[in-house]
Chain A
Amino acid sequence: MPADESRLVADLRAGRREAFDRMVELHYDRLHRLACTMTGQSEDAADLVQETFLAAMKSAGNFRGEARLTTWLIAICRNQYTLHLRGRRKWRHASLEAAGNARAPEPAPAIRPEVVQILERVHRLPEELRTALVLFYLEGMRYQEIAESMECPVGTIRSRLFEARERLKRMMEGDRP
């Protein structure tokens, strides 16, 4: 683990507020992207990320720093998502106005139809395959890093990525007229 991250983990474990700020700042984008592909909805994704950070804060004292912070957060995010699927987490959204925040959401940029299609197909993949795919393509993680995040052997990640692409291909072929 790099020295900067070791310091950050030590501060998190000590419950320092600046450390939580820094963690959010460093990892929000990454988790949000992953969460978007898990939930399929930007709003749900934001909630999932928030649940993840809350859970991370709660268990920071138990984080021994053996894995990378990213790896740990991704594992938490996946757990939170699983809890949600099992109906044990209900995300409730409040309007921005209700929260007293004046900043309105920016309109989503136009997304090409083929991008929308691939997103839909990615979302139809089982969670294990989808997460491996997203961590590889969006986060640029190596097999080893993905394996640590998903707590499985490297060979499994290789198989999952292979399977994910095969399924995507089959879906696309099935879509052809």
Chain B
Amino acid sequence: MTRQVWRTESAGHGIDRSQPISFGFNQFRLEGYQGDTVASALLANGVRLVGRSFKYHRPRGIFGIGAEEPNALLQIGSGARREPNTRATVQELYQNLVAGSQNHWPSLKFDLGAMVGLAGALFPAGFYYKTFIADPKRWLWYEKRIRRMAGLGEPPADADPDDYAHINAHCDLLIAGGGPAGLAAALAAGAAGARVILADENPTLGGQLLLAPQQVDGMAGHLWAEQAQAQLAALPNVRLMTRTTVAGVYDHGLFTMVERCADHLPEPEPHQPRQRFWRVRARKAIFATGAIERPIAFANNDRPGVMLLSAVRGYLERYGVLAGRTAVLFANNDSIYPAARELAAAGLRIEAIVDARPGLSDAAAAAKADGLHVLPGHGVTAARGLREVRGADIAPIDLAGRIKGAAKTLACDLIAVSGGWNPAVHLHAQSRGRLTFQDDLAAFVPDAGAAPYASAGASAGAYDLAECLAQGFAAAEAAALVLGFRTTAPAIPAAAGDPVGAAPALWSVQAPKGARCFVDFQNDVTTKDIGLAHRENYASVEHLKRYTTLGMGTDQGKTSNVAGLALMAAKRGEAIPAVGTTTFRPPYTPFTFNAMVGGQTGEIGHPIRRTAAHDWHAANGGVFTDAAGWSRPMYYATEGLTPQQRIDEEVLAVRNAVGVVDVSTLGKLDIQGPDAAEFLDRLYTNRFSNLKVGRGRYGVMLREDGRVYDDGVTMRLADDHFHMTTTTNHSSSVFQHLEYLLQVVWPDLRVFVTPVTEQWFAAAISGPNARALLADLAPEVDVSNAALPMMGMAEGLVAGIPARIFRLSFSGEIAYEINVDADYGLALWNGILTAGGPHGLKAYGTEAMGTLRIEKGHFTHAEADGRVIMDDLGLAGMVNAANDCIGKRSLGLPDLVAPGRKQLVGFIAAAGERIPVGAQIAALDDLDAVQDALGHTTSQAYSATLGRHIALGLMKDGRAMHGRKVFALSPVLGQRAAVEVVPPCFYDPEGGRQRG
């Protein structure tokens, strides 16, 4: 194990030196402390090179200290928990953490991919648009190789073993960010009694107070934060959430947050979700999300050892780590001076303080007076060194970055840069707030005017600590007041932070031809790429972004977008705000897909509906399929029989004896009211007002555009009471449709509709022995043909259970649909099975049911596919001329009466031939020929009854084609059959059997 060579003796209030933690990085075994991030621990061990860049595979080190990090993306964990592209700066260290660098081969130090970087002149922005211009086959070959070079980390090896959770919450005020402004806001709103959620992405509240020595209320900033946290924790109306990122802003006060419950642990505790996805409805929100320091581009500014100045300070203050031995500091603002003093005091040798500003600010003058090596009006023009910084070239520059004199080289291993700050306006922008450009900050700040939510502190452009606190208090008080809470303005604590000076715009320092100054580190976008985009007229912000990929990496351009925009504005000779801003899209930082899934998969995501007899089906070989969310048995597997043999058995049982099928999934609507009959007349193409009580009728509903919508039998239970059945697929939409008509279109109709699908269990018994079986089951019911004819109904005990018996038939045999209270469903089913033995009863599934209905030529949604009309199905006669129903007006539209429509027909295969699934009907028996289809099959089956394969289908002018010999072709399956076109009903077309 290596010693922590860069750990200082004393500093570091964020770590616990009594708790050493061992972890792995590539082949090395290293040590850090409890409280470290992977980044701080790596730096403590003197590790500089941590990864390779996306495009040029250039060596990269740790650049920042938080969510903004573009470079230090590591693979964390192993196996199914292996997670790519994790920012080392936010990953907390835990015992035996395994981290690996990414995007190199064969090794991090020696990466062959870096050849791309060496030949980089050939690969400017958008080079791929200009080359590999070839036919698609050759492009596929190139693409395969390009894809392997890109892509950063490896995806996880397997399914994620961890659990995730969703949670919803409501609050009066959501505060995003727990720095000084956020803490102040929470203190004020909490004291006023508002329900507050304060969320911060870090493990500890305090924000900037943790990363530089500052004073609040007479104590160290981080201690004040601790005290504020304790005060807030004591308030029952305040929920403090650390390790929680406010990720997205959505409509009507909805915010998403991701809470990392267990990412700081080797693995989640038992029953602990790894991450929790929060959906918060907040009445008000305050964005106190801080600001992100921005770099200044210079040649080779991506070398490991070039870091953000605030990060270098933060690593010392919070983690007790010096990020180098000898440093050059480079900035355009006064934060460089306190930084220099702190770092020097901790033992860092400061070679030079390079201040781009021409004069000496007060802080600069003071530093100079104290003997620090201050170089005003200078800039770092280049970093020296290959795999890490070995020196810095320094030259006089002006504020446009132009070099004004000779450069000299200073030896150093760290270049700390500060180009000012950009307020983190992401959430404000997501909430559709506007941005304005503030010249003295050279930054976009929230336009408070029309903003739906307030911003406070650095995210509002207030960098002074006292001002941050004041804004936090003020924003919370304003929000509390609007929400109706009485506020008691708490005293704003005295605060002393960094001197705040203006940071004049300085985005890059002039570089020699051929040198690369990086703007977007992760995607390897250089100042030259921006120049190229401008030269080629990809000059709008969005073109720039898309052409160069600026800001499209996992950091979403947090350190690069504004600089890219500014450089383009300079090229165009326009002001930055005239060029525009970029769009800020959710999420603020990327988060795990599975957090958003939150375990809502499988049956939790899509519940399975099961009928009351489901367990019987399952125990008796039922092989299930999904029908509109219901689980239905297709057939009952039997030892020694193929599925087709078993289906044949089920079919023949119905044709020759009796079968029973669970039809509970059919939609059922209970319709009552004085106008119920009138309502049905307006729904169905045929009349129901003349239906006798105790009788049923088959009806077809149309869509308003005249196409067939749904069908089923409706029984009249009383003058003002009907029981309607719908197809399984449409049960919910038909209910909705009926309610629409009653509530919106015909509010004068006195009708109530109640969906009762789940309340009834229904079993249909059908076959020549069905009547005898029913007689056994319902000895008190007169089941004679006279008393209970086709489309008749009876009520009475069936298998001892109160039941409604509807006599209707889908199979073409004598059949009864027995409806009972769903709670008695299994009892009825068992009763039928028990009584059925002597009658040769077999249970049958949806496959046999389908075969039986195909033999009868009944249509389902396979035929009525949303494009067909009644006449296509041969049902024009069912449209009652005197009836005026939904959709009828459309039946006269030109296309619905035009000749040449597809019509329902039957197809019967030549003996021994099998009609393929999903076949096209054609004249030529050739699977490879290009030919016009004459039609297609809609459903097919082997008819054990007929001993032939049969099908239903739609065919152009089909009714005129009966007797034609054609071919059913399935080129994708390589199957075909010779078929004859026949009328759609194959079995007992007169219907004598079902009426018998």
Whether chains A and B associate is no
